[in-house]
Amino acid sequence: ALPLRTSMLKCSVEGFSRNVKAMTARERDMLQLVSLKSRYPNEKIPRSRREYFQGSITHRRKFFNRHFDKSRFIKLITWNVASLRNICAKYHSQLAHLMKYEQPDVLCLQETKLSSSAGGDSIARFEGYDFFDAVSLEKRGYSGTRTYVRKQFCSSPIHTEGFSHEASQACKQGRVITTKIQCSQISPRSVHPTLRELFVVNTYVPTSGLDKETGTFPKLSSRLQWDHELRQHFRHIQSANGPIPLIWTGDFNVLFDLDHYWKDSYARMMQTPGFSFEERNSFRQTLDDSQLVDCFRHLYPQSAHSYSFWSNMEKGRLGNRGLRLDGFAISKTIAPRII
- pLDDT (tens place) for every residue of the chain, 339 residues total: 333 333 343 333 344 344 444 445 556 666 666 766 676 666 666 656 555 555 555 566 666 666 666 667 889 999 999 999 898 888 888 888 888 888 899 999 999 999 875 556 778 899 999 999 999 888 887 889 999 999 988 888 999 998 886 655 557 788 999 999 987 654 556 666 677 789 999 999 999 998 888 878 999 999 999 999 999 999 999 998 888 999 999 999 998 765 555 666 667 777 788 888 889 889 999 999 999 999 998 988 877 778 888 887 777 777 777 888 999 999 999 998 888
Q: What is the pLDDT of residue 180?
A: 94
Q: What is the pLDDT of residue 329?
A: 96
For 21, 112, 143, the CA distances from 121, given in Å and listed in that order, are 54, 11, 15
State the DSSP code for 205: P
Q: What is the pLDDT of residue 279?
A: 92
- CA 266 – CA 271 distance, rounded (Å): 9
Query: Residue 189's closest CA among 66, 65, 75, 101?
Result: 75
Q: What is the pLDDT of residue 323?
A: 85
Angle at which helix 220-241 crosses helix 277-289, to 10 degrees, equals 0
Q: What is the pLDDT of residue 16?
A: 37
Residues 6+ positions from 113 with CB-CB distance below 8 Å: 82, 83, 84, 85, 141, 142, 143, 144
Q: What is the pLDDT of residue 17?
A: 40
Q: What is the pLDDT of residue 122?
A: 78
Q: What is the pLDDT of residue 62?
A: 60
CB 249 within 8 A of CB 78: yes
Instruction: State the binding site for Mg(2+).
Output: 80, 111, 251, 253
Q: Where are the alpha helices (DSSP H) in 202-315?
A: 220-241, 266-269, 277-289, 295-299
Longest Cα–Cα distance in the chain: 91
Q: What is the pLDDT of residue 212?
A: 82
Query: Residue 207's closest CA among 288, 292, 111?
Result: 111
- CA 228 – CA 231 distance, rounded (Å): 5
Instruction: State the binding site.
Output: 80, 111, 251, 253
How many CB atoms sit inside 10 A of residue 309's CB? 16
Residues 6+ positions from 48 with CB-CB distance below 8 Å: none
Helices (H) and strands (E) in the chain, counts: 9, 12
CB 195 within 8 A of CB 243: no
Q: What is the pLDDT of residue 139?
A: 81
CB 154 within 8 A of CB 119: no
State the DSSP code for 276: S
Burial annotation 7-23 (CB, 10 A radius, 16+ → b, else e): eeeeeeeeeeeeeeeee
CB 122 within 8 A of CB 84: no
CB 277 within 8 A of CB 321: no
Query: Residue 88's closest CA among 125, 117, 116?
Result: 125
Geometric angle at alpha carbon 295, from 290 and 301, rounded to 5°: 115
3-class secondary structure, 235: helix
Q: What is the pLDDT of residue 303?
A: 78
CB 93 within 8 A of CB 121: no
Predicted model pTM: 0.81
